[in-house]
Amino acid sequence: EVQLLESGGALVQPGGSLRLSCAASGFTFSNFPMSWVRQSPGKGLDWVSSVNSGGGGPSYADSVKGRFTISRDNAKSTLYLQMKSLRLEDTAVYYCVRESQSNSAWHFDDWGQGTLVTVSS
């Protein structure tokens, strides 16, 4: 059974930093691209960042580019999201997502339960 367990969410002041982790199990982590998706209170789902199976080719939403860094440690089956210069609008539940392939394209498949990041003074 695929399991994705996020951690690291916390209350942080504007301008602060935080690192989220996602511990994966139940599949061969190093074979799959991974992503982060967030949902701000009362809002819809927003894609944040994606990374390929080897850790290269990261992509970011414009709203986080230059402030967030996605990475992974395949030896530890763990995905990370380093967040810096946090803003009030970064307040959200952050979900770790495993991607799966169909017809040469990768789509979102399994989701973690999420970790809450609150940016407030």
Interaction site with other proteins (CB under 8 A):
35, 37, 39, 44-47, 50, 59, 61-62, 95, 100, 102-103, 105-114
Cα separation, 117 vs 97, in Å, equals 17
> In angstroms, what is the minimal distance from the CB of 44 to other proteins?
5
CA distances from 26 to 1, 3, 98 (A): 5, 6, 11
CA distances from 61 to 5, 28, 88 (A): 23, 27, 17
> In angstroms, what is the minimal distance from the CB of 7 to other proteins?
15
> In angstroms, what is the minimal distance from the CB of 45 to other proteins?
5
Is the Cβ of residue 30 or residue 108 nearer to other proteins in the bound state? 108
Beta carbons within 10 angstroms of residue 120's beta carbon: 10
Is the Cβ of residue 83 or residue 96 nearer to other proteins in the bound state? 96
Is the Cβ of residue 16 or residue 47 nearer to other proteins in the bound state? 47
> In angstroms, what is the minimal distance from the CB of 25 to other proteins?
16
Is the Cβ of residue 27 or residue 47 nearer to other proteins in the bound state? 47
